[in-house]
Every structure is written in C-alpha cells, then in structure tokens.
Structure 1
C-alpha cells in the first residue's frame, strides 16, 4: 500500500493551503527546492533587530574586536544550526519530533514548550518594536500600529512555509537597499575610512566572550528550532546549505551593517540603542525615503515575526494535538496582547535567558541525534529520558556560572559544550554498565 496520501486539507495543487505536517515528518515528495528553503532562512536574520546587537557589540568592544565577536559567533551558529539542520533534512522531522526522540514522548513537553513559548515572546517583542519604531519615526499611534501589524504578521504566518519563503525573498534584498542608503547618508557627514580606528565606548563593561553570547542569543531559539524550516529540504546537504545562507551570510551582513554605522559615529548612545540605523533614513524631509522606511519596518520586522510565530505555532500544535494554523491565530493574539503590554522593552534580559538556557538544549539534541545518532536511531521509545534533562541542566548551570562568575567566557558556548560532553559521557557510561549486566546474566 502506498504511503503517499492526499486529503481535502492537504492538496497537491498550489491553489489551496497545504499541510504543514505538524505531527509527522515531511514526505519526500513534498520537500522543497534549495532555493525555497534558503529563502526561508536567508530572509530571517537579515533584519533591523539583528543590526542592533551588531552595533552594540562594536560600541562596547571597538570595531575590530566587535567584528571578531560577530564572526566567531556566526561560525559557531553555522556548526550548531547546521548539524541540527542536517538531521532535519535527512529525516523530515520538525523540532518537536526531534525533541520527542531525545527527551521522550512525555519529557519533550518541557523542552518543546519552553522554546515554543520563547519564540512567541520574540513575536511579541518585534511586533511591539514595529509600533514603537514607527511611532518614533513618524508619530503614528503606537498601539494602533501594533494591532494592525500584528494582524498582518499573523495572516502571513497562517499561509505557512510557502509564505515565509516569499517574505524572505523580499525582506533580504530590501534590507540591503536600505542599509546601502543609510551608509551612503552617513558617508556624506562622516569619514568611513576611520571606522577601523574606532575603539568603542564600553570601557571594558562587555567582554569578548559575553559579546559572542549576545550575538548567539539573538537567534539561539529559532536556530535550535531550525528543523521546522529545514525539514522541508530534499536532503541533509541542502539543509546545511540553506542554513549557511543565514549563518554566517545574512546574519553577518545585518550585524556588520549596524557595526559599521556605529563605528562611523553616526548613532548617538550606541551603547544602548546599538546599530539601529532607521533614524538615519527618517531624520530627513525626503518623502520617498520616509515611505521606503515605513515599508522597510513592516516587511523587515514582519519577516522575523512570521518566522518566530511559525516556530511557536508548529510546536504548540504538536503539543496540543492541534493544527498549526489554529495555534497561529491563538498564539498570535496572545503575542499582540503581550506587545501592547510592553514586553518588548525587556530585550537585554531576554537575551541573557536565551544564552544560558537555549544552547545547552540544542547541545543535547546534537549529542543524541548526531554524535550518538546510530544508537538513538535503534533505541526504544521512552516516556522520559532523564539523561537528556541532566545534560541540559548541567549545560545551563555551566552557562549561568560563566555569565555570573567568569564573564570573559561565553555563557552560550560554555553551556553548549558542557551539555554535549555531559550527555555523551553519561550515555556512554550507562551503555557500558547495561552491557556488563547483560553479559553477567548470560
């Protein structure tokens, strides 16, 4: 009997909303091209809110050290997200299905629920940032913009993975156009040749390791949930290639843009606002530039909002045995309400939480499904796998210790490495003990 099936809600033609495969791997005959999956990832990190931490790091460390932190963090993300993507491309499994395999059919609820809630928080943050940004730039009613923008972002997410690829294909080129215009405006009044001598204004308040963590934290959550996007790839190799368009390419472009404008001295209070270059576009009286800036904010922040909401809705639909589109409406409404309440103001606190708790979770997935992949592939299904939680907890503890006691180290990297090592060691020791018991019984 053929396993390929079509339902009224899952047509093969392109005239209706196709299945998002919330509860099963994406079938091979429904996978998408490298170009489509790359558009999904490429258009995600090339955003204004990714230029902000890039500018912040440069402001605190100086241009060359800041650039170094950006490059190191993005190379780490390439390996981290690439390994998880490779697995997703081979299996077609979403993040929730990956988490189920590693944490157990009951245990995964904590891991998936945690990250799925975090990304809805990012949706709320960026929806709120849309309203605040347009209010500051043009005086528009902030709350009204939040409601209208939030509704538009929900509608885009509702259309599914196909809409994310369309949006990404528009958002990334638009970012480049606006960034080039901003740098051109800056060059008229500032000497760009001097950016290499920019020493920063941080005064040692931020270490290189902490800067790496700040950059990693901006996409640690959706990076860990990369399977939701790259499960649509035709194979593991194409999944990794799609990931590479985001890390380091798109992410570095956004972050370095913010860093260059900060190093040129064009942003006041860069140690707090980072590389937010939008005011450079909107400060003048040019109507065309003002209109472009407004479109840019909606499209650019809409891209990150739709991606994050998609991550959250897909995982919560699996957790609640529901549909992605139903959860998109529910979680989107909650996110808009949170945005109206001002949750987006806690940006730096958000990044600290992400850098400590999220990378170790991804480290456990990598250790289990990549490093020990052959063993996990034939392992019996369990309700809860304590070793996964022990490693996650150990990694988070190591990340927290690095953050508070050894800020010269990256808490994100420390937690990631410790989680991987603890999981591999514990699993190896347990396997040996079980093997010895089995031998003794024989």
Structure 2
C-alpha cells in the first residue's frame, strides 16, 4: 500500500510539474518553444566560472591569443554540441537512450554513468565555490552558506526542465548587466589598447594554443556531450540549433570575455581568478552597500544556474540507469553533492574530474559517427556493441598520451578525432546489416 501511495504521489508531482520522460522519447506534443529551450541553454555557460576561465586564458596566453582560443574553441563546441543536440531533437531521446543505441542496452551504463557521475562532481564543486566565495566575501559560515546553496539548487532541479528555464530568465539578465558593467568599468582604468596588448601574467605568456583550446572545450565537454538531455525538448531542428548557438559561442564567449577583459585591464600580478580576482570580487571591492547585496544575489542565481543544469543531467542519466525518476535522483544526488561540498573537500576533486574529462570527447564523436554515418535509424538492440568500446578506448588512450607527453597540443580535439576516426574504421558493418538497422 505504501509503495502504491508513493507512486501515486510521484505521478501527481509529474502531473503538476510536467513529465520528464526519463525512459522514453519526448513526444512532439510535449516539446517546448524555441525561447524556452534557448533560455535553458543560454543560462548554462553564461556564468562566473566561465569568466574565471577567461581570466585564466588571458593570464596564460595574453589577451590576443586568448581571444583566438576562445573564438575557435567555442566554434568547435558549437559544431560538436549542435550535432549531438540535433540527434536528441530528431529522436526526442535523452543521452542515456541514445547511448543505449550506440553502446548497447547494457553497455550504455558505462558511458552514461561516467558522464552522470562527472556532472555530479562538478555540481559539488560549483556548490562548494558558491559557499567559499560567499564565506570569504561576507564572513558568513561556509558550511551554512553551502547547504543553503545546495538546497536551493536541488529545488530548481526538482522542478525539471521548466526550472532550468526559469533560473535562466533570472541569471542571464543579471550576468549581462553586471558582467558588462564590470568589463567596461575595468576597461576604463587602462584603455582598450592596453587590454588588447596585454601580454599575460607578469609579461610572459606560458600557455600554448593547444592547451588554451583544451581549456575552452573542457569547460563544458561533459555537459555538451549529454546535450540531448536539453535539445530533446526542442520542437524542430531550427530551434535546436538556435538554442545551441545561444550557448556556444554566444553565452560562453561572452562570459569568458567578461573575465578576460577585466583581468587584462587590471593587470594584477599573479592574479587568482578563483580567489578574489574575479567579477564577484571586483564588485565587492567597490565597497558599495547596494552593489555588494546585488553581488550576493548574483552569485547564488548565477552559480545556481550551472549547478541546477549539472544536477539535472546527472539525475536524468542515473534515473535511466537505476530505473527510477529524475526528481528522486535529483534529491538523492543533490544531497550527496552537498555533503561533498560542505565537507570542504570539493577542491580535491577538480584535478581528478579534469583528468577523467579527457576520456569524454571520444564518446560524443562515436555517437556522431554511428548516428550520422552508419546507423541513422537504428534502435536499441544488442546488449553490448564492442566496436564502440574499442573506439572509445583508442580515443581515450590517445587523449591520455597527449595529456602527459604532448601537452602543447589540444587533448580534447585529439580525443575527439581519435575516437571518431577509430569508430569510422573499425565500426564498419556489412551493407546488409546497415540496411537492416
């Protein structure tokens, strides 16, 4: 009786908040408007973490080279995420369902589980960053601020894709106004000529173009690979492409430029973008009461957007794997993330998550080759598809070799190319088998 009552309660919640279609394609009747899907995507990368990344690029490469890395990297992301997103739109499937076709109805667990766990890790990291910045800026209790942030972000995710739409409506205008003001105000202290000619930290650029491209791509490669979780809600291909473009290059590039311009304008020696040398620290440094209060609201809303998106992706993937519902997993995984963040151990995860991230790009490349070149209309069939795993292993091996032995090249691009080419070669099937699929 209790179990039946619980199911009835969950059904009622889905009826009120909307079905999330964890285990089946989103029907056309449930698809959302272009504006709605666009606000879901644009609110994801237009975040203070993107601004911090832009600062790191400018410090390491100088402004001009960093600008090239930002532009090229975001165009690569547009092509990669856009193509994967179109698959989600065309078939109405989330990433876990698409992965079931490509890696097998049992094999998909490895691809979807890896990405869902990585995204949970990034949710914990971003929640920890929220608590750390608020604590250092206002002298408030770190654990309390982290818990408040985590619970808020769980609440947004629990609403579902509609919640991501709503937080985007708040987060994006705040970032455009405040990020634009920070960049322009900082630029007024040195002039645009000095910004464009900024040579890097202490006058020495140390980051190669390959590393710079990897930094740009790696920032959202995990979420970009599971883009079908978002784009399955688009009503047609045009809506899907518009939504993706709003994120890459537009929102992501804008966020990076906000941080990059500020860093080049201020030219602080040995600046620490993850400390106080970021747009949040810049606003608080003005010592203006209303601006400090606005910065507080901005930080929670802005990082709330990226955290809710990461938690949504993670919960969608794990709900498929465990045969449950997204909203249940959002609460369970969100609490796990809060514990990690509140325990102040989130910083130890960054290097580990970044290392695991090098094995992600081949996954998306394999899905693209499979679904666009070989098996366009294939359905979920075999339990395991060994060719996909072999190609994944090859792509990941190349990524690790580049990461440790040729770091001046782009790890992310190398991994994509190696995984895609490997699958294109070894994933060939006899013509009759392809026709049957």
Report the CA distance between 1:47 and its aligned residue. 0.1
| Residue 194 of structure 2 corresponds to residue 194 of structure 1 | yes
| Residue 239 of structure 2 corresponds to residue 238 of structure 1 | yes
Report the CA distance between 1:14 and its aligned residue. 10
Superimposed CA distance per residue, residues 29-56 of structure 1 (whole angstroms, 9 cap, x where no aligned partner): 0000110000000011000011111110
Supply the distance in 1 between the matched residues of 2:432 and 2:348 (Cα, whole angstroms): 47
Report the CA distance between 1:268 and its aligned residue. 4.9
Report the CA distance between 1:285 and its aligned residue. 2.1
Partner of residue 318 from structure 1, selected from 305, 317, 320: 320
Q: Flag as ranges the 4+ runs of structure 1 deviating above 4 A.
A: 7-11, 432-435
Report the CA distance between 1:138 and its aligned residue. 1.0
Structure 2 counterpart of 1:206: 207
TM-score, normalising length from structure 2? 0.92
Question: CA distance change for structure 1 residues 380 and 146 in 2, over 3 Å: closer, same or farther?
Answer: closer
Structure 2 counterpart of 1:291: 293
Structure 2 counterpart of 1:228: 229
Structure 2 counterpart of 1:252: 253
Report the CA distance between 1:348 and its aligned residue. 5.2
TM-score, normalising length from structure 1? 0.91
Supply the distance in 2 between the matched residues of 1:160 and 1:177 (Cα, whole angstroms): 27
Does the CA-based 8 Å contact 1:62-1:199 persist in structure 2? yes
Does the CA-based 8 Å contact 1:127-1:146 persist in structure 2? yes
Question: CA distance change for structure 1 residues 350 and 246 in 2, over 3 Å: closer, same or farther?
Answer: farther
Trace 1:17-416 onto structure 2 (pairs within 5 A).
17-201=17-201, 203=204, 205-270=206-271, 273=274, 276-346=278-348, 349-350=351-352, 352-374=354-376, 377-378=377-378, 381-416=381-416
Report the CA distance between 1:405 and its aligned residue. 1.5
Report the CA distance between 1:66 and its aligned residue. 0.5
Report the CA distance between 1:379 and its aligned residue. 6.2
Does the CA-based 8 Å contact 1:217-1:351 persist in structure 2? no
Report the CA distance between 1:116 and its aligned residue. 0.4
Does the CA-based 8 Å contact 1:220-1:358 persist in structure 2? yes
Does the CA-based 8 Å contact 1:123-1:308 persist in structure 2? yes
Question: CA distance change for structure 1 residues 318 and 189 in 2, over 3 Å: closer, same or farther?
Answer: same
Supply the distance in 1 between the matched residues of 2:323 and 2:150 (Cα, whole angstroms): 25
Question: CA distance change for structure 1 residues 433 and 184 in 2, over 3 Å: closer, same or farther?
Answer: closer
Task: Look up the SS of the partner of 2:266 in the other structure.
Answer: coil
Supply the distance in 2 between the matched residues of 1:220 and 1:130 (Cα, whole angstroms): 22
Does the CA-based 8 Å contact 2:22-2:319 persist in structure 1? yes
Trace 1:1-16 onto structure 2 (pairs within 5 A).
16=16
Does the CA-based 8 Å contact 2:59-2:205 persist in structure 1? no
Report the CA distance between 1:238 and its aligned residue. 1.6
Superimposed CA distance per residue, residues 38-82 of structure 1 (whole angstroms, 9 cap, x where no aligned partner): 000001100001111111011101011011011111000000000
Supply the distance in 1 between the matched residues of 2:419 and 2:256 (Cα, whole angstroms): 28
Aligned CA-pair RMSD = 2.2
Does the CA-based 8 Å contact 1:37-1:232 persist in structure 2? yes
Task: Look up the SS of the partner of 2:17 in the other structure.
Answer: coil
Question: CA distance change for structure 1 residues 270 and 181 in 2, over 3 Å: closer, same or farther?
Answer: same
Q: Which consecutive unaligned segments of at least 5 residues does structure 1 have?
A: 1-6, 436-442
Superimposed CA distance per residue, residues 176-211 of structure 1 (whole angstroms, 9 cap, x where no aligned partner): 111122224324533333101111128453211011
Supply the distance in 2 between the matched residues of 1:196 and 1:55 (Cα, whole angstroms): 14
Does the CA-based 8 Å contact 2:88-2:94 persist in structure 1? yes
Supply the distance in 2 between the matched residues of 1:65 and 1:378 (Cα, whole angstroms): 43
Structure 1 counterpart of 2:3: none
Task: Look up the SS of the partner of 1:134 in the other structure.
Answer: helix
Segment drifting more, 347-356 vs 152-161:
347-356
Does the CA-based 8 Å contact 2:26-2:92 persist in structure 1? yes
Q: Which consecutive unaligned segments of at least 5 residues does structure 2 have?
A: 1-7
Question: CA distance change for structure 1 residues 9 and 148 in 2, over 3 Å: closer, same or farther?
Answer: closer
Supply the distance in 2 between the matched residues of 1:381 and 1:153 (Cα, whole angstroms): 36
